[in-house]
Amino acid sequence: MGRTGTTRRRALLATGAAAAGMLTGCSNDSPGTRRPSGRSADPARAEAALRARLAARSTALGDEYDAVIARHPELAERLTPLRSAVSAHAVALAGGRPGGASAAPSPSTAPPVTPPVTPSATAAGSVPEDPAAALRALAAAERRTSDGHTASLADAEPELARLLASVAAAGAAHAYLLTKGEPR
């Protein structure tokens, strides 16, 4: 007559199978060896280049705020807090250093992950005469910047990605505040 309960052999087999299953879930990809999208052999250099591009994008947005404030001083009280937040975002994205991150690597070592920053018509000096139109143009610039930050999330290390997601969300909120919920 055979045993019907749990035997040592069955318990050992079950434990071994469970351990083998758990070990297959382990991988060799630790956060320190991760390469952002496989684009660079040096993650620190790739992150520095990404931070420089992101900070430049936020700095360009700050320049657009400055242009609108210069053209429409009556909007300064409304725009100054948003402008200050954009400036803080640029500093945070630069790694806490005003004026951008450390020297960006050469294009041959870290190809651009995001499109280059192109100033909009607002920053180029053609701020609309109508204050409402200027606010709409600024809201559109906030959306473009926020969308660009969101698109860069896939290339960012986890810590930078969290910061980037927060900055992108703040940009979306700024766009809403600038239009007070007007449809695009």
Q: Which residue has the tokens 């083998």?
A: 20
Sign of the Cα pseudo-torsion (155, 160, 165, 169, in order)? negative
Q: What percent of the chain has pLDDT over 70?
A: 64
Of the listed ranges 16-25, 80-89, 170-179, the least confidently predicted one is: 16-25
This model's pTM is above 0.85: no
Asked if residue 67 has pLDDT above 90, the reply is: yes
- The CATH number covering residue 89 comes to 1.20.1260
Supply the range of the domain harboring residue 117.
Answer: 41-179
pLDDT, the chain, mean: 78
Asked if residue 66 has pLDDT above 50, the reply is: yes
163 within domain boundaries:
yes
Residue 130, pLDDT score: 95
127 within domain boundaries:
yes
Domain count of the fold of the chain: 1
Rg of the chain over CA atoms, in angstroms?
A: 25
User: Smallest Cα–Cα separation from 58: which of 133, 123, 134?
Assistant: 123
**Each residue's pLDDT tens digit, 118-155:** 445 444 468 999 999 999 999 999 999 999 999 999 99
Query: Between residues 8 and 108, which one has the greater pLDDT?
Result: 8
93 within domain boundaries:
yes
12 within domain boundaries:
no
39-53, 115-129, 153-167 — most confident range: 153-167
118 within domain boundaries:
yes
- Cβ atoms 154, 146 nearer than 8 A: no
Q: What is the DSSP string of the chain?
A: ----S--HHHHHHHHHHHHHHHHHT--S--GGG--GGG--S-HHHHHHHHHHHHHHHHHHHHHHHHHHHHH-GGGHHHHHHHHHHHHHHHHHHTTS-TT-SSPPPPTTTS--SSPPP---TTTTT---SSHHHHHHHHHHHHHHHHHHHHHGGGGS-HHHHHHHHHHHHHHHHHHHHHHTT---
125 within domain boundaries:
yes
50 within domain boundaries:
yes
**Each residue's pLDDT tens digit, 91-107:** 999 987 665 444 444 44
Which of the four pLDDT bands, split at 50, 70 and 90, describes residue 10?
A: confident
Q: Which residue has the tokens 């004026």?
A: 99
Query: Whole-angstrom Cα distance, residue 119 to residue 23?
Result: 51
Which of the four pLDDT bands, split at 50, 70 and 90, describes residue 183?
A: low
Asked if residue 167 has pLDDT above 90, the reply is: yes
30 within domain boundaries:
no
Residue 19, pLDDT score: 62
Asked if residue 24 has pLDDT above 50, the reply is: yes
Length of the chain: 184
